[in-house]
Amino acid sequence: MAPPVIQGEFRGLENLACGIIVCNAEGAIKYINPSAEAILEISHDQACKHNIDLFFQDKNFFQQLKKDMQHHNVFRENEYFIKTKNNKTVCSTLTASSISNSKNILIELVPMDQHLKITNEERMIIQQQANAELLRNLAHEIRNPLGGLRGAAQLLEHELEDKSLTEYTQIIISEADRLQNLMNKLLSPYHLPTYELTNIHELIERVRGLTISEFGSEIILVRDYDVSLPEIVADREKLIQAFLNITRNAAQALQAYNHEPKKIIIKTRSDRHMCVHQKKYQTVIRVDIIDNGPGIAKNILEKIFYPLVSGNQNGAGLGLSLAQDFVSLHKGMIEATSKKNKTCFSIILPIKNDLNNSEVKLDE
């Protein structure tokens, strides 16, 4: 914990996603926020025993920084290599400025991979909104003629004298019903969700049971749960469907892969001080669904959450798009990484315990 005076003085910096270091004119560290603790791999109390030079590759960097600040007030280095306590190198954007009414210097660190993450999240949000609008319009346009097509086939069936021909009208009716179900799936994310306090492992166990009933003993499902995770506010059915879509995709990929044993690991953990859609959360739940299948081709992985994109030649390409929509309704996100024998989909869900919290209501 920070000393009481420092904690009060810099309280507003605790929840920032970027790393913040406050030091005096001699470089003695007076405060670092939790994000800086993660970047520099050091606790606040330990950092305050050191000089800022500990983290600079060039020991003269801090003196040069102070000189530049005398002329420009703010110093900025777009790609500077910070050294962590464990001697790892982190490329980051470094900005330094003087704190008003104080001789202290505030240094802001934003790792370059965080820049890329923010850019990717912004692109994903824009793409998701465009996908949602496209799918809604498409579904509405198709549903009306489908109803007319099905009704006409039923009337035709009653008028046919040769009942052997009803085989063909039944094909029309069944295919119309199949397309109608597909349209319902496209529109389902936009039905108002019902939020309630939910145990994440109850949902996963239901998904596990459904997967075992569908694929039998052919796929080994391994539990790796953190049973201490708290309940979250969630729409149970939508999260179950999101987990099921991802798990079923993994099982189908394993079915077609000549590798033994065929294994899916479902792992739950909590992460602290994480940014989701550019908002900092103290705690999030992470559900990792990991399979040892063939992996996803890079050109498909980059657009795997787009509708009608599938790595399975028999797939409709809607499962992951819908999963992403359902998770987004909970202010969460899905990340995917893949290589041969290891594909991981990580579902990240901020922990919310207020059923009336506006941040978990559906954005209309």
Q: What is the pLDDT of residues 130-173, one digit of tens each?
A: 666 666 666 667 777 888 888 888 888 888 888 788 888 888 88
How crowded is the C-beta side of 185, counted as CA atoms within 13 Å?
Answer: 19
Per DSSP, the residues of 170-237 read HHHHHHHHHHHHHHHHHHGGGSPP--EEE-HHHHHHHHHHHHHHHHGGGSEEEEE--TTPPPEEE-HH
At position 92, the amino acid (one-letter code) is S
Residue 347 has phi, psi (to 5 degrees) of -100, 120
> What pLDDT score was predicted for residue 188?
59
51, 79, 112 - which closes a domain: 112
pLDDT reported for residue 31: 92
- Predicted confidence at residue 6, as pLDDT, reads 47
How many structural domains compose the chain? 2
The yes-or-no verdict on residue 246 having pLDDT over 90 is: yes
What percent of the chain is predicted at pLDDT more than 90?
25
Would you say residue 289 lies in a domain?
yes
Cα(251)–Cα(255) distance, rounded to whole angstroms? 6
Q: H helices within 111-165, ranges in order?
A: 112-159
Spatial neighbors of 304 by CB under 8 A, at least 6 apart, are: 296, 311, 320, 336
Is position 278 within any domain? yes
**Residues 212, 220 contacting (CB under 8 angstroms):** no
Question: What pLDDT does residue 15 have?
Answer: 77
Same domain? 97 vs 208: no
Residues 215, 83, single domain; the answer is no
Question: At 87, which CATH number?
Answer: 3.30.450.20
Find the radius of gyration of the CA atoms of the chain. Answer: 27
Decide if pLDDT at 363 tops 50.
no
Distance (Å, rounded) from C-alpha 353 to C-alpha 231? 8
Dig out the tokens for 164 from the structure.
């052997």
276 within 8 A of 348, measured Cβ to Cβ: yes
**What kind and span of H or E run contains 321?**
helix 319-328
176 part of a folded domain: no
Out of 94, 112, 130, a domain closes at 112
Question: Is 326 contained in some domain?
Answer: yes
Residue 125 lies in a domain: no
Q: Is 83 left (phi over 0), alpha (psi -120 to 50) or beta?
A: beta
Query: Exposed/middle/buried for 36, CB within 10 Å: 0-12, 13-18, 19+?
Result: buried
Q: Which domain holds residue 196?
A: 192-364
pLDDT band at 275 (very low <50, low <70, confident <90, very high): confident
Q: What are the φ/ψ torsions at residue 139 (nearest 5 degrees)?
A: -65, -45
In-domain check, residue 9:
yes
| pLDDT value for 190 | 55
Return the pLDDT at 360. 39
Residues in the chain, overall count: 364
Listed residues 71, 95, 112: the one ending a domain: 112
Same domain assignment for residues 99 and 207: no
Q: Are residues 201 and 105 in the same domain?
A: no
Residue 140 lies inside a defined structural domain of this protein: no
Confidence of residue 355 (pLDDT cuts 50, 70, 90): very low
pLDDT reported for residue 287: 96
Based on the fold, state whether residues 210 and 314 are members of the same structural domain: yes
Flag whether 118 is in a domain: no
CATH assignment at residue 247: 3.30.565.10
